[in-house]
């Protein structure tokens, strides 16, 4: 076996030596004429000499998007820089997500929150009772037989319903925070009851945790900042448990005071002297004007043929109407329903006039409610800000995820309150501008003008369509 192995080794060495001699005797191949031979200037080191150029927007997979740069080129030029992608706007995106989540939370609370039960006698209510204003004392009644009178009666009731709904939504924005009223206060009361039932164990656990964290941060050689974050978290939780009702009330009132202050600042630039005083006085005056212009005046025309009852107190209107019916036969004819076509026309224009204004006010009130709820949640989230501000790596996220959305929510709430005031004032001024155009269409000239313009445009389109059908084209000659 040893002789065979040695013979094999000698044979292999002789064959390799012969192969090397033949390779040395063969002449080296000449390089092509188009590419002259160049001697390598560096010695091979065993490392790769080709690298992959990374382009923004390329994918690692083998799908349709793999190998493409940001501009969509499959073979980008190595010397051409990749196109910059559009920047992501953090504030707009975060605020949009927050506002959408708040709206969904309000929907869930409306769906699952039970109705607020009446409190026992002698206890203060959760929300201060709102005073009864003049529009709530108004009685919308219209007598008269026939189909046209029935239509006018339904239209004027729909007008009154729209006006009441839009006024109530605006009053709620300036009176309470809806999320605090539906969920904040009940949760705070439940936490207070639970804390009162477990006060001794909670105090013991809190003291033990604080003592343990203080010992950890004092005795350990390099404790870091984790124990400070934990101490801030324990203090925030203790404050939330002990002062839950006060914190909920402060966060809720912050969202109410923003539109109130905005309204007070807005009325300072209004030339009307009646819009002075506190927030509720200004709102009452605006609501009275709004109701008088869009409901009381059309109702007075439907009952008497004029606006004589529009400015009268709601409780005195039935007596004034009965007195006028006994003295004037024309008023009696309107009251008993002998002007059915005129009533139907006036009621229709009243609804058309009020509908866009009421929808705009309700939409603004809904947006303001969402902004109030977002302010409420972010202010309650301020309890976690000290714990996050202790750690430097978490501190840089606070402006983007907490401070900027809070300021944006406050700005949105103020802008919506100002816009609501402007909508009411502009609608009131536009309604008063066409009061002199006639008795039948008084207070309804703008809807009549819009209908006339729409009808004129429709007539022109129909005429053009008919002219296009009558046109005949003949090839090779004139028609």
Between CA 372 and CA 397 the distance in angstroms is 23
- Among 170-179, 372-381, 404-413, 431-440, the minimum mean pLDDT is found in 431-440
Predicted local confidence at residue 272, as pLDDT = 75
User: Residue 444 burial (CB < 10 Å; 0-12/13-18/19+)?
Assistant: buried
Predicted local confidence at residue 220, as pLDDT = 79
Q: Categorize the per-residue pLDDT at 29 as very low, low, confident or very high, splitting at 50, 70 and 90.
A: low
Predicted local confidence at residue 470, as pLDDT = 61
pLDDT in tens, 187-236: 999 999 999 999 999 999 999 999 998 898 888 777 778 888 899 999 99
Is the pLDDT assigned to residue 19 strictly greater than 80? Answer: no
Between CA 274 and CA 440 the distance in angstroms is 30
Q: Categorize the per-residue pLDDT at 127 as very low, low, confident or very high, splitting at 50, 70 and 90.
A: low
With beta carbons less than 8 A apart as the criterion, state whether 353 and 441 touch: no
Mean pLDDT, rounded, for 345-374: 94
Measure the CA angle with vertex 450, ends 448 and 454; round to 5°. Answer: 115
Is the pLDDT assigned to residue 145 strictly greater than 80? Answer: yes
Between CA 1 and CA 283 the distance in angstroms is 115
Mean pLDDT, rounded, for 147-173: 93
Percent of the chain with pLDDT over 70: 72
Q: Categorize the per-residue pLDDT at 153 as very low, low, confident or very high, splitting at 50, 70 and 90.
A: very high
User: Which of residues 451 and 397 earns the better pLDDT score?
Assistant: 397
Is the pLDDT assigned to residue 41 strictly greater than 60? Answer: no
Q: Categorize the per-residue pLDDT at 445 as very low, low, confident or very high, splitting at 50, 70 and 90.
A: low
Residues 6+ apart with CB under 8 A from 337: 142, 143, 144, 145, 146, 149, 343
Q: What is the pTM of this model?
A: 0.71
C-beta contacts of 259-267 below 8 A and 24+ residues apart: 259/173, 259/174, 259/368, 259/413, 259/414, 259/416, 259/417, 260/174, 261/414, 262/413, 262/414, 262/417, 262/418, 262/421, 263/174, 263/417, 263/418, 263/421, 266/417, 266/418, 266/421, 266/422, 267/421
């Amino acid at each position: 076996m040893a002789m065979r192995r040695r013979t094999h080794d000698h044979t292999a060495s002789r064959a390799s030596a012969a192969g090397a001699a033949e390779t040395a005797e063969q002449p080296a191949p000449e390089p092509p004429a188009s590419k002259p031979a160049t001697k390598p200037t560096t010695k091979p080191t065993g490392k790769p000499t080709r690298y992959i150029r990374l382009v923004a927007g390329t994918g690692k997979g083998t799908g349709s998007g793999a190998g493409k740069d940001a501009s969509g080129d499959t073979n980008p030029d190595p010397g051409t820089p990749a196109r910059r992608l559009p920047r992501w706007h953090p504030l707009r995106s975060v605020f949009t997500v927050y506002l959408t989540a708040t709206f969904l939370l309000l929907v869930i609370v409306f769906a699952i929150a039970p109705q607020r039960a009446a409190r026992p006698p002698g206890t203060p209510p959760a929300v201060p009772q709102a005073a009864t204003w003049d529009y709530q004392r108004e009685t919308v009644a219209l007598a008269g037989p026939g189909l046209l009178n029935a239509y006018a009666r339904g239209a004027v009731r729909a007008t009154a319903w729209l006006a009441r709904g839009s006024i109530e939504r605006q009053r709620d924005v300036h009176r309470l925070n809806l999320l605090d009223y539906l969920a904040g206060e009940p949760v705070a009361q439940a936490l207070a009851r639970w804390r009162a039932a477990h006060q001794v164990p909670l105090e013991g656990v809190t003291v033990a945790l604080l003592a343990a964290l203080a010992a950890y941060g004092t005795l350990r050689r390099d404790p870091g900042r984790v124990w400070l974050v934990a101490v801030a978290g324990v203090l925030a939780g203790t404050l939330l448990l002990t002062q839950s009702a006060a914190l909920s009330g402060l966060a809720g009132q912050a969202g109410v005071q923003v539109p109130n202050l905005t309204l007070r600042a807005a009325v300072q630039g209004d030339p009307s002297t009646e819009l002075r005083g506190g927030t509720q006085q200004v709102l009452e005056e605006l609501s009275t004007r709004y109701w008088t212009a869009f409901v009381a005046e059309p109702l007075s025309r439907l009952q008497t043929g004029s606006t004589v009852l529009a400015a009268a107190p709601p409780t005195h209107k039935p007596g004034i109407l009965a007195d006028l019916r006994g003295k004037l036969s024309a008023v009696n004819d309107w009251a008993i329903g002998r002007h059915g076509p005129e009533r139907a026309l006036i009621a229709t224009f009243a609804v058309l006039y009020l509908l866009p204004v009421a929808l705009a006010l309700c939409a603004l009130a809904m947006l303001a409610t969402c902004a109030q709820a977002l302010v409420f949640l972010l202010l309650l989230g301020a309890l976690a800000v000290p714990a996050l501000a202790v750690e430097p790596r978490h501190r840089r996220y606070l402006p983007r995820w907490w401070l900027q959305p809070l300021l944006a929510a406050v700005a949105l709430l103020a802008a919506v309150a100002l816009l609501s005031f402007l909508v009411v004032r502009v609608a009131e001024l536009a309604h008063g501008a066409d009061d002199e155009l006639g008795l039948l269409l008084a207070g309804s000239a703008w809807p009549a003008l819009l209908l006339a313009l729409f009808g004129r445009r429709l007539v022109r389109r129909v005429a053009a369509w008919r002219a296009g059908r009558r046109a005949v084209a003949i090839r090779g000659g004139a028609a």
